[in-house]
A and B are shown apart, each in its own frame.
Chain A
Amino acid sequence: MKKKVISMMLAGAMVLSMTACGNSGNSSDAGSAASTGGDAAAEAPATEAPAAEAGQETEAPAAAEGPVELVVTTTFAGEDSNAQNYKDAVKAWEAETGNTVVDTSATADETFKTRVATDFETGSEPDVLFFFNGADSNSFIEAGKVVSIDEIRAEYPDYASNMNEDLITASLVDNKKYAVPANGYWEAMFVNTEVLDAAGVAMPGADYTMDQFKADCEKIKAAGYAPIAAALGNIPHYWWEFAIFNNQSPANHLEIPESAADENGQSWVAGMNDIKELYELGYFPENTLSATDDETFAMFTEGKAAFLIDGSWKVGGIVSSCQSDPNDPATLDTAKLDKFDVTYVPGKGSRKATDLVGGLSSGYFITRKAWDDPAKRAAAVSFVEYLTSDEMVPKFAQHGASALKNAPEVDASEFNSLQIKAMNMMAGTTSLTGAVQDLFAGDCRVSTFDGMPEIVTGRVAAEDAVAEGLEAYQNQ
């Protein structure tokens, strides 16, 4: 089964590599990125050129014929905070190798996932794919349409050698490693301290427990604020993950129960009932069942809600909410940003507050089609190596973790206050465990994700909903 990502991960993750501002590579951001990016660009040719040459040697005649056109699909598109980084990296790689990249990236929604699956089905898959390495990749791995890292290493021994082997996620299908990870993520609890102050609640720390959390929520509610910013009818994902985690330990969180009746299954049921309890206590916003995640996030940033459990990518969202012009970091209201903090998720039982969820959920795949094409093999390898180099990964990883063996030093002087708080928070983490929902993808999620409103309102028993989901999982 999938390996837990713990202390090893932390080694890489703690030295958080962050660029100046989490949000996308707009003009003023580029200035600060240039200080690190410039080095990267200068160094990259040195490290990459040999790799490309090596590729040509092994590939002999066909590959030497000149520029190759590589079709690449990633999720770095639209408003993804790495979209610009990716574009820049692709341009640099093209300039360096003379190859061209046909980019078919799109925002990672369900239509996109369907599109990728259809591409593999019809044989129109890209040459290189940056995609989720959890259950979403099962179908094309089962069909043998991507090449494992080991197979690539038989010919390119240095492929992904700068990565920490333990942090490369193995496939759920055959336990082989396919995807070279780039940027990771963590999930934690963001806090609006303005609301805490108004309600007379102290900033929680590393030993925060669920009971303390509930007592605080009660005070916040009494002061007229919504304690928890969450849209249970829209994105219950983060609460789902931590509520289950709170009834387990980092050691067994990633095991999917056989049935709702066994011990682990009961911890899932207990997790659902914990959310139900918080809902009944009135700690979620009044319209949590009909609001969108955007709306509840706005409540949090506007000082109407106190706590928000979310991922590392939300740092950028909070920062841009503190800018009068969201696209111009120069307009940042630092006083407002200082009111936001990030801390651990209240713990319970054998899960400590500092046991967080995080990891590397996506990576670069090279497809069988490209590998078997003598003209493209070397180019595909060179492309992935370029985008997963020691210089490139930190630019993409930002607040998230990376799997690099030797992450470069971080220059904290360019960070804003929330980024520094995030880094300090991450330094105190005792473990990082992957999200069990990444293994639990597809229709098995429906009964407890989309069904969350029914569970918390008591229309469906938590036990039945969990049982239904697990049954669907076993049938997959």
Chain B
Amino acid sequence: MTKKKTLSPGLIVVYVILIIWALTTVYPIIWVIQNAFKAKNKILENSFALPTGDLFTMANFRKAFETTDIFGAYKSSLFISTMVALLVVLLAGMGAYALARYKFPGSSLINSLVIGAMMFPAFATVIAVFQMEFRWGLANTGSWLRNMMSVILPQVAGNMAFAMVVLTGYIKGLPIELEEAAYMEGCNAFQIYFKVIMPLTKPSFATVAIFSFLWSYNDLFTQSFFLRRPDMYSITMMLNNISAKEGTDYGLMAAVVALIIVPVIIVYCCLQKYIIKGMIAGAVKG
């Protein structure tokens, strides 16, 4: 696994480039967090300064916690996004396997349908979905669980096409020999899928799961249509609600943005270890 490396000039250039890009991705987050601790009228003058001494204030966070039920919002958001990620991985994985391996009449049409589905703008479909779900008694009810489901289902569908495209591309790249070997041993298609394909596809599953989770977490439009009651608000809904009326209170904005992204980044950094493990597991087999 180890690559022998000496610190050549080429390698230094590589590191410099990587570090510069890393700065552009990390600094904005630091910038937001440090400004979350400043009063709103100080931000524009002093956006680069660290919030120390007179600049420092907790007022933004105080207001954020006072005016919102942030823990309830986390609960809703995490439940929705976890469910979406799980369902997408499970169902899209099966679909992608079929698309990657089976050749049947109309398979290219199905491919087009999948790519087309990826294009459907949510603004074009949300009304019909709402009317449908209301008829089923899912949308706009008093039940927390049903309300969550009313968001989860369209989000699963919305992420399905993307997941299938990524997973199909990945499965196609897997060597077919392993499947043949399993077939020789008498496995049927389902056993092959669960015993051979799924373990091999783990890294790609992880990628898809993360993206589905994040898109669901950050998808304001669908949520704002289905989650109406403040006690069921998700975290992005809260940000939007606050920014709508007090868009110039940059301090409060920064505080709320920080409250939204910091947990996600922490969770992502923790899971990162397992994701890498999954990736390596895939690599060994390849």
Q: Would A and B touch once assembled, by the CB under 8 A criterion?
A: yes
Q: Which residues of A contact B (CB under 8 A)?
A: 24, 26-27, 69, 73, 77-80, 102-107, 109, 111, 114-115, 118-119, 121-124, 292, 294, 297-298, 317, 320-321, 324-328
Does B40 count as interface, using CB distance less than 8 angstroms?
A: yes
How many A-B contacts if CB must be within 8 Å? 82
Q: With a CB–CB cut-off of 8 A, which chain B residues contact A109?
A: 244
- Look across to chain B and name the residue whose beta carbon is closest to the beta carbon of A321: B41
Q: With a CB–CB cut-off of 8 A, which chain A residues contact B248?
A: 294, 297-298, 317, 321
Show 29 residue pairs from A and B whose CB-CB distance is below 8 angstroms, ordered by the A residue: A24-B67, A26-B63, A78-B241, A78-B244, A78-B245, A78-B246, A79-B241, A102-B229, A103-B229, A106-B241, A107-B241, A107-B245, A111-B224, A111-B225, A115-B225, A118-B131, A121-B131, A124-B134, A124-B140, A320-B249, A321-B41, A324-B39, A325-B59, A326-B40, A326-B41, A326-B249, A326-B251, A326-B252, A328-B59
Q: With a CB–CB cut-off of 8 A, which chain A residues contact B130?
A: 118, 122
Q: With a CB–CB cut-off of 8 A, which chain A residues contact B142?
A: 69, 102
Does B218 count as interface, using CB distance less than 8 angstroms?
A: no
Docked CA distance A104–B135 (Å) = 19
Q: With a CB–CB cut-off of 8 A, which chain B residues contact A107?
A: 240-241, 244-245
B228→A104 contact, CB < 8 A: yes
Known: A24-B67, A122-B134, A326-B59; 16 extra A-B contacts, CB below 8 A, are A78-B242, A79-B67, A103-B229, A106-B224, A107-B244, A109-B244, A111-B224, A115-B225, A294-B247, A298-B44, A321-B41, A324-B41, A325-B39, A327-B63, A327-B252, A328-B59
Q: With a CB–CB cut-off of 8 A, which chain B residues contact A119?
A: 140
Chain B, range 214-249, C-beta contacts under 8 Å to A: 221, 224-225, 228-230, 240-242, 244-249
Docked CA distance A314–B44 (Å) = 21
Which of B41, B139, B245 contacts A80 (CB under 8 A)? B245
Q: Which residues of B contact A (CB under 8 A)?
A: 39-41, 44, 57, 59, 62-63, 66-67, 127, 130-131, 134-135, 139-140, 142, 221, 224-225, 228-230, 240-242, 244-249, 251-252
- Look across to chain A and name the residue whose beta carbon is closest to the beta carbon of B220: A111
Q: With a CB–CB cut-off of 8 A, which chain A residues contact B224?
A: 106, 111, 115
Docked CA distance A200–B220 (Å) = 49
Q: What is the distance, in angstroms, from A87's C-beta to the closest C-beta of chain B?
A: 9
Q: With a CB–CB cut-off of 8 A, which chain B residues contact A102?
A: 142, 229
B244→A79 contact, CB < 8 A: yes
Docked CA distance A298–B131 (Å) = 42
Q: What is the distance, in angstroms, from A31's C-beta to the closest C-beta of chain B?
A: 15
**Interface of B: prevailing SS:** helix
Q: What is the distance, in angstroms, from B132's C-beta to the closest C-beta of chain A?
A: 9
Docked CA distance A328–B135 (Å) = 47
Docked CA distance A79–B68 (Å) = 11
Q: With a CB–CB cut-off of 8 A, which chain B residues contact A27?
A: 66
Q: With a CB–CB cut-off of 8 A, which chain B residues contact A106?
A: 224, 228, 241
Ranked 5 nearest A-B pairs via Cβ: A79-B245, A78-B241, A104-B228, A79-B246, A107-B244
Which of A80, A105, A321, A325 contacts B230 (CB under 8 A)? A105
Docked CA distance A107–B238 (Å) = 11
Known contacts A79-B242, A294-B247, A325 near B140 by CB under 8 Å: no
Which of B66, B135, B139, B240 contacts A26 (CB under 8 A)? B66
Docked CA distance A27–B62 (Å) = 11
Q: With a CB–CB cut-off of 8 A, which chain A residues contact B241?
A: 77-79, 106-107
- Look across to chain B and name the residue whose beta carbon is closest to the beta carbon of A87: B230
Docked CA distance A325–B251 (Å) = 10
Residue of A24, A103, A118, A326 contacting most chain B CB atoms (<10 Å): A326
Known contacts A77-B241, A79-B241, A321-B41, A118 near B228 by CB under 8 Å: no
Docked CA distance A149–B66 (Å) = 37
Docked CA distance A24–B66 (Å) = 12
Known contacts A115-B228, A124-B140, A327 near B62 by CB under 8 Å: yes
Docked CA distance A310–B127 (Å) = 34
Which of B41, B59, B140, B228 contacts A327 (CB under 8 A)? B59
Q: With a CB–CB cut-off of 8 A, which chain A residues contact B131?
A: 118, 121-122
Q: With a CB–CB cut-off of 8 A, which chain B residues contact A294?
A: 247-248
Docked CA distance A123–B134 (Å) = 9
Q: With a CB–CB cut-off of 8 A, which chain A residues contact B62?
A: 327
Docked CA distance A280–B85 (Å) = 54
Residue of B63, B240, B245 contacting most chain A CB atoms (<10 Å): B245
Docked CA distance A321–B240 (Å) = 21
Docked CA distance A69–B141 (Å) = 12
